[in-house]
């Protein structure tokens, strides 16, 4: 929790692309400023200097610390103002405590400022000196966009191949992102073109990308081609689309490889990288996402706070005698929750994680529920690792 005892005025900024709405509130709750201002450095400096001269220490609080909120935070830090941000989900819930139902920039800016004044525990700290985190956040965000694009193109290829030749899709579908398969589809977009190329030519084409699999894959392809003799309507159109989609998917996957290298470099430069990656199931991308969202963990008083922020704490439902039970929370930081979930799935090869997962399965939970339980447990372990600066340690069952 941020210490706001020395703050003389709380400035809430509802940030926007071209302009922000700024509302300043004194510790007594009186408005000291309430206007729009352009998203330019001179006007931001003018406002911060005016409030500093008249009141003293200014706490600048935004609802989006990245993207459109980056410039105000950078100017505030340069002028010696402490900064923080109020998570959007938290702000929306706090807004329900204030009268009125209007959704305006002025109201949102006041809610941000007054929440910082009256409920400082809801604020999140922003480390302005960690350039690694800022660069990681930008690159990981782009990588997430590329991952979504790769999924979209892959699904489109699955759909086209299933429509024109289901047997061929059953062979190529599970390997659709393999370089050899993409090379094949870029060159030959229809079953007829693949058959015309012949076994020898295909083996020669695929061997550089898949030395061990080329001959077996070609045999499987021709076996699948023999299972269908009719030509489905739309095959000619698909022959034009498949090579283009395969080329697009290859480009996206190549970009992700380049980004993965840069993410790994940035992660290795951070002092907490070895702590994070020492935990089974935490790779480069999940480690980067956890580092972006959690940092060193100091903003979370307990492991329970971290689990709640990630949406891993179960939500209890109880009303009289008819509604009793718990279910996974639908709230929290979805990107962080996904990172914990994926790392839990990847950690099933770890003996301790597998034992805990099997225990939950034996208790009657299905696969997803058991993984969420494991992710929640791993959040506790990660919190302790970050708090103490220690590496993951596998302890024998008797010691545990």
Could you tell me the two tokens for 400? 């545990």
pLDDT value for 347: 92
Q: How confident is the model at residue 313 (pLDDT cuts 50, 70, 90)?
A: confident
Residue 284: how many other CB atoms lie within 10 Å: 20
Residue 400 has pLDDT above 60, yes or no: no
pLDDT value for 181: 96
pLDDT value for 399: 45
pLDDT value for 53: 94
pLDDT value for 316: 58
Beta bridge mates, 337: none
- 319-366 tens-digit pLDDT: 555 545 456 666 778 889 999 999 999 999 999 999 999 999 999 999
Beta bridge mates, 33: 24
The rounded distance, in Å, linking the Cα atoms of 178 and 157 is 13
Residue 272 has pLDDT above 90, yes or no: no
**Which is nearest to 213 in space by CA: 178, 167, 186?**
178
Residue 5 has pLDDT above 80, yes or no: no
Residue 90: how many other CB atoms lie within 10 Å: 17
Average pLDDT over residues 255-279: 90
Residue 138 has pLDDT above 80, yes or no: yes
Instruction: List the end-to-end C-alpha distance of the chain, in Å, as a whole number.
Output: 32
Residue 130 has pLDDT above 80, yes or no: no
Beta bridge mates, 125: 84
Average pLDDT over residues 167-177: 95
Could you tell me the two tokens for 263? 């993410």
pLDDT value for 65: 78
Whether domain 9-126 has CATH 3.30.420.10: the reply is: yes
**Which is nearest to 58 in space by CA: 45, 42, 71?**
45
Architecture of domain 136-264: Orthogonal Bundle (1.10)
Average pLDDT over residues 76-87: 89
Residue 131 has pLDDT above 60, yes or no: yes
Q: How confident is the model at residue 127 (pLDDT cuts 50, 70, 90)?
A: low
Average pLDDT over residues 107-122: 90
Arithmetic mean of pLDDT over the chain: 88
Residue 163 has pLDDT above 90, yes or no: yes
Distance from the Cα of residue 273 to its chain's centroid: 17
The rounded distance, in Å, linking the Cα atoms of 9 and 76 is 14
Residue 397 has pLDDT above 70, yes or no: no
Least confident of 7-11, 183-187, 199-203, 394-398: 394-398
CATH 1.10.287 residue spans of the chain: 136-264
Average pLDDT over residues 75-96: 86
CATH 3.30.420.10 residue spans of the chain: 9-126
pLDDT value for 373: 92
Average pLDDT over residues 71-78: 91
Residue 380 has pLDDT above 60, yes or no: yes
Q: How confident is the model at residue 95 (pLDDT cuts 50, 70, 90)?
A: confident
Collect all residues with Cβ–Cβ distance below 8 Å to 70 and sequence separation of at least 6. none
- 185-243 tens-digit pLDDT: 999 999 999 999 999 999 999 999 999 999 999 999 999 999 999 999 999 999 999 99
Average pLDDT over residues 264-284: 89
The angle at the Cα of 239, spanning 235 to 242, to the nearest 5 degrees, equals: 120
- 230-263 tens-digit pLDDT: 999 999 999 999 999 999 999 999 999 999 999 9
């Amino acid at each position: 929790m941020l210490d706001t005892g020395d703050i003389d005025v709380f400035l809430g900024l509802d940030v926007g692309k071209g302009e922000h709405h700024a509302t300043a509130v004194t510790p007594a709750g009186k408005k000291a400023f309430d206007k729009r201002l352009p998203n330019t450095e001179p006007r931001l400096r003018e406002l911060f200097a005016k409030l500093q001269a008249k009141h003293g220490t200014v706490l600048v609080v935004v609802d989006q610390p990245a993207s459109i909120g980056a410039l105000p935070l950078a100017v505030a830090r340069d002028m010696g103002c402490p900064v923080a941000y109020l998570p959007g989900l938290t702000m929306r819930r706090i807004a329900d405590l204030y009268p009125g139902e209007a959704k305006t920039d002025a109201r949102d800016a006041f809610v941000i400022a007054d929440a910082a004044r009256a409920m400082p525990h809801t604020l999140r700290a922003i480390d302005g000196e960690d350039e690694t985190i800022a660069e990681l956040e930008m690159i990981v965000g782009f990588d997430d966009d590329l991952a979504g694009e790769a999924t979209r193109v892959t699904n489109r290829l699955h759909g086209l191949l299933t429509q024109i030749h289901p047997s061929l899709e059953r062979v190529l579908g599970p390997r659709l992102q393999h370089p050899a398969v993409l090379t094949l589809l870029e060159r030959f977009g229809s079953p007829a073109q693949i058959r015309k190329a012949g076994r020898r030519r295909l083996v020669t084409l695929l061997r550089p990308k898949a030395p061990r699999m080329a001959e077996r894959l070609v045999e499987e392809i021709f076996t699948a081609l023999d299972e269908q003799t009719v030509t489905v309507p739309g095959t000619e159109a698909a022959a034009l689309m498949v090579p283009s989609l395969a080329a697009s998917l290859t480009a996206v996957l190549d970009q992700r490889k380049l980004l993965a290298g840069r993410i790994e470099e940035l992660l290795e430069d951070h002092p907490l990288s070895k702590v994070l990656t020492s935990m089974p199931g935490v790779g480069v991308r999940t480690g980067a996402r956890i580092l972006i969202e959690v940092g060193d963990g100091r903003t979370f008083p307990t492991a329970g706070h971290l689990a709640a922020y990630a949406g891993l704490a179960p939500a209890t439902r109880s009303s009289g005698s008819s509604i009793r039970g718990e279910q996974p929370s639908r709230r929290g930081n979805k990107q962080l929750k996904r990172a914990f979930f994926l790392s839990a799935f990847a950690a099933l090869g770890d003996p301790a994680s597998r034992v805990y997962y099997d225990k939950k399965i034996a208790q009657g939970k299905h696969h997803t529920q058991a993984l969420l339980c494991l992710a929640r447990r791993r959040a506790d372990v990660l919190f302790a690792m970050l708090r103490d600066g220690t590496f993951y340690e596998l302890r024998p069952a008797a010691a545990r």
